[in-house]
Amino acid sequence: MPDAVGFAPGRINLIGEHTDYNDGLVLPVALKLGVTVTARERDDNTVRIVTDADVAPREVSYTIGREARDRSWADRVRGVTDELGVRGEYVAGFDARITSTLPLGAGLGSSAALAVAVVRALRDLFDLLLSEGEIVSIAHGAETGRFVGARSGLLDQLASVHGRRDAALLIDLRDLSTQLVELPTTFELAVIDSGVRHEHATGDYNTRRAECEEAARHLGIVSLRELEDRDLDAALDRLPSPLDRRVRHVVTENARVRQAVIALGEGDLARLGKLLDGSHRSLRDDYEVSTPELDRLADVGRDEGALGARLVGGGFGGSVLALARRGEAKDLAERVLRRYDGGRLIAVVP
Ligand code: GLA
């Protein structure tokens, strides 16, 4: 029996943060870095997984149909086999090896990449007929279901499955429509890890999502996207603090995504940089998901000549994007890292 191999990439999101679960707009680019799962069928119902990634535990085993949470990374794999079981897809036991070139917990979509890579490997191993859309929703179910419990949106799974490395993908979460947005030839980004890890499942991320839902209830709308065509100030006046600031972030961030698409089309990097800076400010002051380390990295980045810089992903740790001209991102990152301890250049995009 040959091994089945599933690969899934991580992502950056150029702009459009915390908009996905508000029926909003996102603009991801897939990374070359990702997670690879190599799986081989067993003749019992045992799952054995080993990984070389920097996580604990390095080895896990459990029984299909008797998945029980241990609050480690392996819950995402359990989430996948549980989700497949619920959908009536037959999977037996398997041995799997997981390797990752993507740092975990760095705001680059590693959780979704792990789940998507597992689904892809199991699809091939057990001849499951799964569409790309089903892969997205099984991986998303593994993250949001009873094993992990992060109430995340669809950005990371959609980006991992449909994202491109050489172009950005504008996704409208209202109807899941997509549009490819070419990256100008002058465009380059450094992705710099702050070294501070985040854990979405435990807390603040879910709190932000709950705040958005509460604000929508308060305003009598289904999702914050409906505010796009309304008088924003009038809506904000009706909201208690901090819901008003949360809503202001989401609505202005959607507008920044639209403007970023225009700036990319015109090759206007200066304008794009200002939008990234605006996004960071809004995430820091209105949405309150930044950290002193992310703020410092972004500030040092601008000081060292980045055209714009912002935290990427959910926040509370993770990485920063620093916009540069083509050929200059690596040097920029090196200058930044001389002034920031514990960080590291993860990737240059594209
Ligand atoms: C995390 C979540 C995504 C998205 C981003 C913020 O990466 O998994 O669904 O909400 O945060 O944009």
Percent of the chain with pLDDT over 90: 93
Predicted confidence (pLDDT) at residue 293 exceeds the cutoff of 90: yes
Is 253 a pocket residue for ligand 1 (Cβ < 6 Å)?
no
Specify which residues 21 forms β-bridges with: none
Cβ(306)–Cβ(312) under 8 Å?
Answer: no
Query: For residue 105, what pLDDT is reported?
Result: 85
Strands (E), 59-166: 59-63, 94-100
Closest to 40 in 3D by CA, of 96, 83, 101: 96
Least confident of 105-109, 310-314, 336-340: 105-109
Q: Which atom of ligand 1 is nearest to the CA of 150?
A: 8
Query: For residue 119, what pLDDT is reported?
Result: 98
Predicted confidence (pLDDT) at residue 348 exceeds the cutoff of 80: yes
Predicted confidence (pLDDT) at residue 148 exceeds the cutoff of 90: no
Q: Which atom of ligand 1 is nearest to the CA of 17?
A: 12
pLDDT tier at 200, thresholds 50, 70, 90: low
- Segment (H or E) for 330: helix 329-338
Instruction: Tell me which residue has its CA closest to atom 10 in ligand 1.
Output: 18
CA of 171 from ligand 1 middle (Å) equals 13
Query: For residue 2, what pLDDT is reported?
Result: 75
Q: pTM, whole model, 2 decimals?
A: 0.97
Is 143 a pocket residue for ligand 1 (Cβ < 6 Å)?
no
How high is the mean pLDDT of the chain? 96
Is 350 a pocket residue for ligand 1 (Cβ < 6 Å)?
no
Pairwise CA distance, residues 188 & 87, whole Å: 42
Is 156 a pocket residue for ligand 1 (Cβ < 6 Å)?
yes
Query: For residue 1, what pLDDT is reported?
Result: 64
Catalytic residue among 20, 75, 156, 286: 156
Percent of the chain with pLDDT over 70: 99
pLDDT tens-digit map of 154-168: 999 999 999 999 999
Conformation bin of residue 109: beta by default, left when phi > 0, alpha when psi is -120 to 50: left
**Is 156 noted as a catalytic residue in this protein?**
yes
- Segment (H or E) for 211: helix 204-219
Q: What is the mean pLDDT of residues 78-82?
A: 97
Predicted confidence (pLDDT) at residue 178 exceeds the cutoff of 60: yes
Is 313 a pocket residue for ligand 1 (Cβ < 6 Å)?
yes
Instruction: Tell me which residue has its CA closest to atom 2 in ligand 1.
Output: 152
CA of 205 from ligand 1 middle (Å) equals 9
Q: Which atom of ligand 1 is nearest to the CA of 19?
A: 12
CA of 94 from ligand 1 middle (Å) equals 30
pLDDT tier at 201, thresholds 50, 70, 90: very low
